[in-house]
Amino acid sequence: MTHALGILGTGALAAHLVAGLRAGGFDAGIIVSPRGADVAASLAAAHGVQVAASNQEVVDRARMVLVCLPAAHGADILRGLTFSAKHSVCSAMAGVGPDVLAPLTGPARVCQAMMPGASNAIGAGPCLLFPAAQDWQTLLAHLGPVLVPTSQAEYETAAVFGAMSGASFILMQALAAWFERRGITPELARPLVAATLAGNAAVLRDAPHDWDAIIASVATPGGVTEQLVDALQQTGGLAAWDTGLDAVLDRMTKG
């Protein structure tokens, strides 16, 4: 075992995480699986990762193994690999948790994680991890805050944030598109949306229990915020998020 970290599944998520690990100061050896050859080659060139000849070589040469395989086929791919008690395996596959992982990777230790991806590449994305595992907490801390739920059930519900995170880009795109349709240049509209949401997110992050105080401080009674929120409620714009999140939770927990 010559590498600190092995990654199975060298695609978009692996690219984000390797970039974030290196930017966050993780300079130990990383070995990645060979499929996704273009991404693997670019990670080798930019971040000094080794590209294995096979998935089994990743497992044989790393103690910590992060599984970033397609969720639909991940279990079948892992079934063909051999792990030992020295391995610590973390699934980043949506909806594929320790119950699926443990029988396939035994006697390795197992856990699961969910993360946004793109923001981890700049050290600013949360990683949800369960169960707590010191080696993974230390590694994932290079990518942003590590949040550990208190139960498997809490993890499964919280992990829906992965879909919320991706959808938030679509929300920002829709908001910027409205400004652009009204004649605002993309150079103004996009940073306007991004900086507004980033600033508001920082306010919430720093005072997470003060919803009412925050909203009272920004929404003048009878003002334009109230007008927009009323319109969103009347058209089902806010309730639609509940409907969509419920559907993702069902898919991730019931298959």
Write out the residues near ligand NAP by the rule CB under 6 A. 8-14, 16, 33, 35-36, 39, 55, 68-71, 73, 77, 92-94, 114-115, 117, 162
- CB nearer to ligand NAP: give 85 or 170: 170
Q: How far is the CB of 208 from ligand NAP (least distance, A)?
A: 23
- Cα–Cα distance between 89 and 93 in angstroms, integer? 12
- CB nearer to ligand NAP: give 35 or 47: 35
- CB nearer to ligand NAP: give 50 or 55: 55
Q: How far is the CB of 11 from ligand NAP (least distance, A)?
A: 2
- CB nearer to ligand NAP: give 68 or 133: 68
- Cα–Cα distance between 248 and 162 in angstroms, integer? 10
Q: How far is the CB of 229 from ligand NAP (least distance, A)?
A: 30
Three-state secondary-structure class, residue 244: helix
Q: How far is the CB of 117 from ligand NAP (least distance, A)?
A: 2
Q: Which ranges of the chain does DSSP label H, i.e. alpha helix?
A: 12-23, 37-47, 55-60, 74-79, 98-105, 134-140, 152-158, 161-181, 186-206, 211-218, 224-234, 239-254
> Cβ-closest residue to ligand NAP?
11
- CB nearer to ligand NAP: give 66 or 189: 66
Q: How far is the CB of 37 from ligand NAP (least distance, A)?
A: 7
